[in-house]
């Protein structure tokens, strides 16, 4: 299987934000933006894999700036990492106010996708050709995120299994909660 350059599957979707996408404050619903991000991740991953791809996970969705009705939202996606059947697609979202000629970065996120073959089983994806320092950096960052995710999952499972070792009262004492345990 021949390696593919990440730029070969670059995908951009631009969408006008209309009132039906907005909440009562005139800002886009987060779910609408997530749906658009999922679409661009699918298109980008599928172009690289040459197969149907499904979303497995979404990392770090932070809404940095509000998106207003009338803005043009652009979602730019690029494959940053590939495993055997998985791909990590980096997505940058910008919102453009065309009247003010103002473009702002509103979101960045990473979608992990898995390629599926005709038998609906995971399918091998082409290797990723890294042809710049930035591509190398993005690949390495995706590897680190993957490792940290595994570590975090392991630690949460350990905490669930050994809740006797955690002093819940001390942990919750400074939080904004009221403890009223039933006896």
What are the residue boundaries of the structural domains of the chain, listed by start? 4-131
- Average pLDDT of span 68-79: 97
For 95, the token pair is 């919102």
The pLDDT value given to residue 160: 77
7 pLDDT above the threshold of 70: yes
The pLDDT value given to residue 166: 67
Per DSSP, the three-state class of 14 is strand
The pLDDT value given to residue 168: 74
Percent of the chain at pLDDT > 70 equals 97
Alpha helices (runs of H) in the chain, residue ranges in sequence order: 30-49, 133-161, 168-172
Q: What is the pLDDT of residues 14-68, one digit of tens each?
A: 999 999 999 999 899 999 999 999 999 999 999 999 999 999 999 988 899 999 9
Close Cβ partners of 166 (under 8 Å, ≥ 6 residues apart): 159
Query: How many CA within 13 A on the CB side of residue 17?
Result: 26
Per DSSP, the three-state class of 64 is coil
Determine the Cα–Cα distance for residues 11 and 76; give it in Å rounded to an integer.
Answer: 6
Cα 41 vs. chain centroid, distance in angstroms?
8
Pair 40, 12: CB distance under 8 Å: yes
The CATH class of 4-131 is alpha beta
Q: pTM for the whole thing? A: 0.88
For 132, the token pair is 């710049």
For 174, the token pair is 């400074």
165 pLDDT above the threshold of 60: no
76 pLDDT above the threshold of 90: yes
The pLDDT value given to residue 163: 59
Nearest one of 125, 110, 134 to 41, comparing CA atoms: 110
Determine the Cα–Cα distance for residues 167 and 53; give it in Å rounded to an integer.
Answer: 43
């Amino acid at each position: 299987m021949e390696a593919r350059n990440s730029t070969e599957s670059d995908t951009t979707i631009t969408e006008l934000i209309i009132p039906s996408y907005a909440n009562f404050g005139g800002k886009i619903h987060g779910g609408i933006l997530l749906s658009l991000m999922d679409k661009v991740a699918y298109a980008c991953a599928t172009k690289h894999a040459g197969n149907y791809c499904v979303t497995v996970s979404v990392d770090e969705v932070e809404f940095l700036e509000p998106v207003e009705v009338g803005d043009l939202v652009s979602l730019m996606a690029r494959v940053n990492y590939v495993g055997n059947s998985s791909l990590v697609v980096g997505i940058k979202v910008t919102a453009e106010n065309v009247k003010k000629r103002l473009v702002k970065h509103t979101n960045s996120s990473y979608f992990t996708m898995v390629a599926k073959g005709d038998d609906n089983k995971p399918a091998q994806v082409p290797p990723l050709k890294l042809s710049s320092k930035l591509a190398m950096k993005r690949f390495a960052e995706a590897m680190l995120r993957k490792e940290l995710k595994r570590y975090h999952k392991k630690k949460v499972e350990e905490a669930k299994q050994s809740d006797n070792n955690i002093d819940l009262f001390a942990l919750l004492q400074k939080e904004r909660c009221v403890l009223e345990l039933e006896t």
